[in-house]
Structures are given as structure tokens and as C-alpha cells.
Structure 1
Amino acid sequence: MKVLMLMLSDNPGIGGLEKHTQELASAIAKQGHSVSLAAAPQHLEKIEGVTCHAVNARRSRNSITLLVEILRVIREGNYQVLHAQGTKAAFVVQRLAPFIKKHVRVASIHGFKSRYPKAVAFHQLIAVSKALANDINQAEVTVVYNGTSVAKQGPAKPSQAVVNPVWLAVGRLAPVKRFDFLIETFRFCSGTLLIAGEGPEQQRLQALIESTGQTDKIQLLGFRTDIPSLMSAADGVVISSEREGFSYVCAEALLLGKPVISTDVPIANEVLPKDHIYQGDEAAEFARLLQQDLTAATANQAGARAFAKEKLSLSAMADNTVEVYQKASETLALERSKK
């Protein structure tokens, strides 16, 4: 099968969408398929077995020059499957649909939006969680969970003294992650909170830590490349996000055998026990979940860890995605036979 993945993120770094696309492209290529990726230059480095096409992703989804360039890449490559990653790429493929009728068209949606691409422009839509599939609420939506690979590493040594239990939170320091709520929550908790990530909220969050008198309890670690080591050193992982399409942090923590306490976001709310999910805005109530016995919490999440091992691996993600391609190919063949 000859596949072109299209990702039009203009992020300067590698976030969840970029990580997913790179890993999926490589995993499908390892299965023996021919895979190309058209994306911004900064997202094309070191992708094993994948042919890369650099695209200026800073342009609007409605840019005529962008549409013409993507159409040229598609026609020159003689691809069987076009797989748009993210809503921007999906809307571009939707605009081009009348000119690429002979191609199988698939789009992966990674986050909640006020408006989604139209399913009629594609042979299959992929949602990365059940909650997201329900929100899309269109025909021909298949759930394929993001897979990941987490190599167990030795625990990272803290840069300063910590008090157990040690909780780790990971993510971009942006409002949607609600780290301000987590900092308020930790006023009612014992132990240490480590927050790994960088972003526009860093100064405000540091000021909140200081104003709540928690400089000895909470550390902003900044950008880190050793998240598995940090998780290995932590006693538990906490997710405080307002919304997520799919939480890589939850998946990685489960694969490393760490207990997870989370707000009501996918994929945590699909696999964790209900009493490990917090719904609400009361810091003291969220803190109660973080104060439970972690040995018991770990035991109660055995089913979630088994699910992660079976469903959240790179090979499972690649297998399930190729199944979607095959189903979409059958849909296209049926369409063409009726003409």
C-alpha cells in the first residue's frame, strides 16, 4: 500500500500531533508499506523508512498556493491512500476532494473542535478516543487509540530534595492544562509536585507557587527530554487538563506501571477506575484523590495497565490504522463500481 500522510502543523517543536504522526508513519513503513509524509521541515527529521516532503505549513488552510502545492505532491506520488493528520490537513484534503476522487481519503481528528471536517469528503474518519468520536457524531468514524513506545529507564535524580509522595505532571504550560488548578490543589496535599514542560504560563504559575507558599513543595522543571526517567522516579502521575483529545501522559504512565489520577479527559476516563477520575472545580476535592493509598491505587489500575499494553502500543496503532485503510479502500471500490 502506498500512503501519503499530510500534517500541516506549524508548531516550532514536537507536540502530541507531531509525535503521533511521526511514530505512525514509521510504524506503518516497518510493516512493509510505502509511506511518505508531507509536513513542515521541522517535523521531518529522523523518521525511519519514510519519504519526506517539506511544506510551508505557516500558510492558511485556504491558501491557494498551499492547495496547489499539496495537489501537486499527491498527483506526482501516485498514492493509493491519503491520510490527513489533524483538522487543518483534513480541511485541505476536503477542499481538494473533487480533484482526488481516485484516492482513498482518511482523516485523523486529534482534539475537540467547534467544527469538524465533513465525513462525506472522506472514506473514513479516525478519532483518537471514544469521547472524541461521540463529539464528531458523523458516519464512518472509527476509534484508533494513539500508540506509543516507552523504554523503561533508570529514575531521574531530583535537582533538589523532595518529600514523598512525589507526583509528576507533564504538559505545555498553557491554560488548557489547568496547572494553576493543580497548584491550588496541592495546597491540601503532602509530598512534592513536579511539573515538566514549558509555555506561556510559566511566569504566572511560578508566581502562584510563591504566593501560595509552596516553593518547597512544587517545582517547575521546564522542558525535559527524560520524561520516562521522571515517571520512573515519581510515585504517581497526575493530569489536570480541562480537555484532551488523547492523553499521551496517561498512556505513558500506564505503560511504565505508574498510578494515574486525572480530571475527566480521554483516555484516562475510558480506562481508569471511576474513583480515580475527578469531575469538578474544587481543589480540596481533587486533593482527596491525590491523598489516597497509592499501593491500593496501583493495584486497582491493573486492568488499565493491561489495556495499555494491548491497545496503546505502536504496533497496535499501526495495525488498526492499516485496517481502516483497507476498509476505506473497500468503500472507494464500491463507490466506483456503482458508476
Structure 2
Amino acid sequence: MKVCQIMAGDEEGGLENHFVELSNGLLEHADSVIAVGHAKYRERFAPGVKFIALDLSGGRRNPLLLVRLALILRREAPDIVHAQANKAVEMLARIRALVPGYHIGTIHNRKKSTGMFSHMRTVIGVSKGVVANLNHPDLRVVYNGMKAYQGEALGKAQLASRFGLDPAVPITLSVGRLVPTKAFDNLLNAWQPEHGQLIIVGDGPQRASLEQLIVERGLEGRALLAGFCSDVRGMMSAADLLVFASHREGFSYALAEALLCRLPVLSTRVPGAEEVLPEQHLVPVNDVPALSAALTAVIADLPATAQAQDELFAWAAKVLTVEHMVADTAAIYQSVPGQSAL
């Protein structure tokens, strides 16, 4: 079986990791794997993956890009064409009459516009929440999986020393791009000095406004923006809690990382988190007082918070791995009409 993965983005995050790791993992399940995406990702693919560089980050209605994509797919003639996320799915939908193979789209986040998925024969969601309102005859769910961490697991003293913090005071992490959907402004407005110390890991266009908010709220020394950190998994080993204030998610890679590190999580009620976290560790979206109260409760008894998620940590160790994600995806390919066993 020949499988082709398509991604239209050019950024760095969970989608991009999913695209690369799924393509590489499928080498053990398919006769041939092709990946079509931006040239910047070329070196991340295993030698067995046939990578075809095509910058699809421009307009999804660009006729030149659509023609180039159609020509590539007609030339390669894959059995399975699997588009990752809304933009790639919409582009595949626009050229579907010209493209051979069985068409699959994966939805990575809950968005208002999902009509393009109606043109896919099978739709995969990275959580139950992202496909909950989608009307389609063949919906599947495959959770994001993480590679085993190969880096250094930091101790709490190391983490505190790096950022000039007190190792005797609780340290909470929050991870994500500094963009409105992550609602870091809500998190900072919910944060109180008695909650301890907050490290926000990530970068983005809201950095300046968030720095100003830290000053306005008098949180210097209690909240800081760490920027991009390549060793987030190592930092999680030393932290006491991970918190999400997001307006929306699909199934956050940071959530998976935390659970695999046995780091307790508090989150707004977004897809992914709402499916796996205990009810007492979920708060309404965009409710700053509720988030603040929940932070007070969980930080007051961190051992109890961890104990309440103990079974979840065990589940994550089995399910939230790249191997499990790849195997589940390969099983879907095998199950579709007209395809023989992989």
C-alpha cells in the first residue's frame, strides 16, 4: 500500500510534529510513504520516506498551488491520500475529482469552518471533542502520540535556578504559543501570589502585552515568560503542575507530554482535556474567577491532585505514544474499502 501525507503549514507545533512522526512511523506498516510539505521539514523525515517539497502555506484557493498538488498526487498515485488539518483538507477537497486514491482528513482543532471534511471519505479527529459536532458517516479518533523523551529530566532545584525562582515554592508551567486562543492573559489575571511561581513557555505576537500585564498585576517574581524552550519535557519533570487556560484545543501535545511525565494538569474545558481529566480539574472556558479558584484548590494539595490523576498517567503511558498513534492510523487505512491488509 502506498500512503501520501499532506500538510499545508510552515510553522512549528503539534501539527508539524504529527505530520513528521506519523509519516516516519508508517514506514513499518506501508509499502511506500510519501510526504508533501514545506521544504523546511525535509531533514526531519526518515530516509525511507519520499519527501516532496511543496510550499502550500500560501492561499488555499491559489490555482497554481492546487494544480501543482494535483499533478504530484496524480504522478505518485497513492492508495491513501491523508491530509492533515483544515487547510490541507480544503485543498485536497478542491482537487478531489482529479486525485486518485482514498481520501482521509484529520481535524486537529475545533473550528467554525469544517465543511471541507464532508468531501473526505473518512475523517480522523485527534480527540472526541474536535469531531463532536461534525456530521460525517465515518468518524474515527486517534489521539496524538509522543516519542519517548531522550533528554535530561531536570530536578526542581535546576529548574528554579535557571529562572531565578525559589525551589521551596510550587512551580507551575503553562506551554503554548503566545496567541489569543491560548488565553495567557486570562491565566495571568487568574494568578495570585499565593499560587506560587508560574513559568509560561512559548513565544508569539502577544509577548509584549503579556509582559506588560505581569507588571500591571505586580506579578514580577511570581510569573515570567520563558520564551521558547527546547527541553519542555525535561522542565515538566521538575514542575508541580501544568495549567491550560485555552479557549480551544484539539488534543494538546503539551497535555500528552505532561501526562507522560506524570505531571498533574489543570485545564479549561476544551477538547482533549475534557475527555481525560477528572471533573474537579476542569474549569469553564473564559472564566477567570473559576480558574483562579481551581488553582488555589489544586496547589493547596498537590499530592492529592497527582493521586487523582494516577490512573490517567497509566493510561497515557499505554495510549499517548507515537507507536500507538501510528498503529491506530494504519488500522484505519487497512479497514477502508478496497484496501488489503497492510
Q: What TM-score do you get using the length of structure 2 for normalisation?
A: 0.91
- The structural deviation recorded for 1:193 is 0.2
Match of 1:239 in 2: 244
Task: Give the one of 290, 309, 324 matched to 1:316.
Answer: 324
Q: Separation in 1 of the partners of 2:111 and 2:287?
A: 26
| Residue among 245, 263, 277 paired with 2:268 | 263
Within 5 Å, which residues of 2 pair with 1:1-339?
1-11=1-11, 14-31=12-29, 33-48=31-46, 49-100=48-99, 102-151=100-149, 153-155=152-154, 156-157=158-159, 158-162=162-166, 164-187=169-192, 189-279=194-284, 281-291=286-296, 292=298, 293-330=301-338
Once residues 120 and 243 of structure 1 are traced to their aligned partners in structure 2, the CA distance between those partners, rounded to angstroms, is 22
The CA RMSD measured in Å over matched residues stands at 1.8
Deviates more, 1:169-178 or 1:2-11: 2-11
What is the alpha-carbon distance in structure 1 between the residues aligned to residue 141 and residue 132 of structure 2? 10
Q: Is the 8 A contact 2:123 2:140 kept in 1?
A: yes
SS in 1 for 2:132: helix
2-side partners of 1:282 and 1:173: how far apart? 19
Counterpart contact for 1:94–1:122, Cα < 8 Å = yes
Matching residue's letter, 1:2: K
Residue correspondences, number: 329
CA offsets, 1:139-197, max 9 Å, x none? 21111111112416321532312352100000000111111111111126431000000
CA–CA distance in structure 1, aligned partners of residues 84 and 179 of structure 2:
22
Distance in 2 between residues matched to 1:138 and 1:151, nearest whole Å: 36
Deviation of 1:95 after TM superposition, in Å, equals: 1.4
1:118 Cα deviation (Å)? 4.4
Aligned counterparts of 1:10 and 1:22: Cα–Cα separation in 2: 12
Partners of 2:247 and 2:285 within 8 A in 1:
no
Match for 2:226: what amino acid?
Answer: L
Any idea what SS the aligned residue of 2:6 has?
strand
What is the alpha-carbon distance in structure 1 between the residues aligned to residue 58 and residue 303 of structure 2? 50
Which 5+ residue runs of structure 1 have no aligned equivalent? 334-339
Deviation at 1:287, TM superposition (A): 2.3
**Counterpart AA for 1:306:** A
Gaps of 5+ in 2: none
TM-score normalised according to structure 1 size: 0.92
How high is the sequence identity, in percent, across the aligned residues?
33
SS of 1:220's equivalent in the other structure is strand
Contact 1:37–1:50, Cα closer than 8 Å, also in 2: yes
